[in-house]
Amino acid sequence: MPAIFPRWTNNIPLAIAILAPIFGAGLVGGVWYYFSPKFTDAGYRPIQPVAFSHKLHAGDMGMDCRYCHNTVERAAHAAIPPTQTCMNCHSQVKTDSPKLAPIRESYESGKSVPWIRVHQLPDYAFFDHRPHLAAGVGCVSCHGRIDQMTVVQMDQPLSMSWCLDCHRNPEPNLRPLDQITNMGWDPATEDYDPKADPARKRALTPPEHCSGCHR
Ligand code: HEC
Ligand code: HEC
Ligand code: HEC
Ligand code: HEC
Ligand code: HEC
């Protein structure tokens, strides 16, 4: 009777024994990379190429978030402002500051400043700012008191359970639609009933099913 499996298949168990730990290590490495603090841990606070302070600009000077993050209500992602936005003021203000040298260089060369991403979900999770802002969830609920930060840090874990905690019961996080960028407006101390707000036209249904966020 002829052999059903060619002779080389005898080597398969050996090949598996050799390759499995290599693939295993790759998998562990991949998982470790994806779930490492950079992506998901609250407190992540990289040093940026320019010492830009939200406390100074958004806090003390009271600039609205949307002056710089101007796409946040129109696109899934909030744009990081181009150098031109900084130069609207810094072509006149603090023009000799060494802290602003990289901004002036970027303006002259046309190369954007290499800002380091602070918040980043893994590719397999879908997030869009628009439905959240349209529902009256404020920036502060997800990003913390950015207006008090001299260096941006991640305030919330951005984990799946964090998303779901709010999706199961969004009400305590809702505010009037014109207060989404007001960092001082605190739902816990304000007397606000979303159900009685005439500006709200429908009941909210944040997704809890897997395909809502894994598309
Ligand atoms: C004058 C322009 C300006 C204003 C106003 C401003 N930002 Fe920013 N924002 C930036 C720049 C530049 C960065 C990138 C550098 C950094 O992280 O500090 C940034 C970064 C961020 C990040 C982190 C982005 C990432 O990489 O994950 C968040 C979140 C953020 N801003 C939220 C806000 C909120 C909320 C407000 C309003 C309270 C606001 N910003 C007002 C310019 C601005
Ligand atoms: C419901 C939670 C939530 C709210 C509300 C929210 N953000 Fe975000 N923000 C996130 C998450 C999650 C990310 C990471 C997105 C990703 O990696 O795809 C993010 C990322 C960012 C970034 C980095 C660029 C980007 O979009 O990936 C900026 C800047 C930012 N947010 C600014 C703001 C501002 C300004 C507001 C208020 C007008 C705001 N966010 C409101 C959750 C939120
Ligand atoms: C609406 C005007 C305005 C805009 C837009 C603006 N700034 Fe400023 N910025 C100021 C003012 C005013 C000061 C100085 C405050 C003071 O007198 O100390 C300042 C100070 C600074 C400083 C500290 C300089 C020093 O020597 O202490 C840095 C760094 C800076 N800004 C970066 C930026 C960056 C980066 C952007 C763009 C993302 C930006 N600014 C956009 C008005 C602005
Ligand atoms: C603080 C509350 C809160 C947090 C935190 C939050 N969400 Fe939401 N989410 C909402 C609300 C409210 C809606 C709007 C539901 C509606 O419009 O009916 C929503 C809607 C959505 C939608 C539906 C968008 C659409 O176009 O159908 C997705 C997807 C989503 N959220 C993903 C996420 C992810 C991913 C995270 C975590 C990284 C997250 N959300 C964190 C409150 C939250
Ligand atoms: C509201 C949005 C949302 C919903 C709904 C959701 N996920 Fe997730 N999921 C996320 C986010 C955001 C991450 C990334 C978390 C991180 O990076 O820590 C994630 C991560 C995961 C991971 C990677 C491992 C982990 O736990 O971090 C798996 C597996 C997963 N989700 C499966 C599911 C399944 C199965 C369902 C349905 C029962 C589901 N998800 C529903 C947002 C969601």
Long-range pairs, 45-48, Cβ under 8 A, ≥24: 45/118, 45/151, 45/152, 45/153, 45/154, 46/116, 46/118, 47/116, 47/151, 48/115, 48/116, 48/151, 48/152
Which residues have C-beta atoms less than 6 Å from ligand 5? 39-40, 121-122, 125, 159-160, 163-164, 167, 207-208, 210, 212-214
| Best mutation site among 92, 94, 105, 152 for ligand 3 pocket (most ligand atoms within 8 Å of CB) | 94
Three-state secondary-structure class, residue 174: strand
Of 145, 142, 144, give the one whose Cα is nearest residue 131: 142
For 35-85, how does the pLDDT look when each residue is reduced to its tens digit (9 = 90+)?
544 445 788 999 999 999 999 999 999 999 999 999 999 999 999 999 999
Q: Is 205 in the pocket of ligand 4 (CB under 6 A)?
A: yes
For 165-213, how does the pLDDT look when each residue is reduced to its tens digit (9 = 90+)?
999 999 999 999 999 999 999 988 999 999 999 999 899 999 999 999 9
Structure tokens at 169: 């019961």
Which ligand is closest to the CA of 83, given by its number?
3
User: So what's the pLDDT on residue 14?
Assistant: 46
Every domain of the chain and the residues it spans: 7-34, 43-80+118-213, 81-114
Contacts of 167 (CB under 8 A, 6+ apart): 206, 207, 208
Q: Please check the confidence at residue 115 and state whether its pLDDT lies above 70.
A: yes
Q: Please check the confidence at residue 2 and state whether its pLDDT lies above 60.
A: no
Between CA 142 and CA 128 the distance in angstroms is: 13
Between CA 25 and CA 44 the distance in angstroms is: 26
Q: From ligand 4's centre to the CA of 81, what distance in Å? A: 24
Q: What's the mean pLDDT in 7-14? A: 52
pTM: 0.90
The number of the ligand 1 atom at minimal distance from the alpha carbon of 65 is: 37
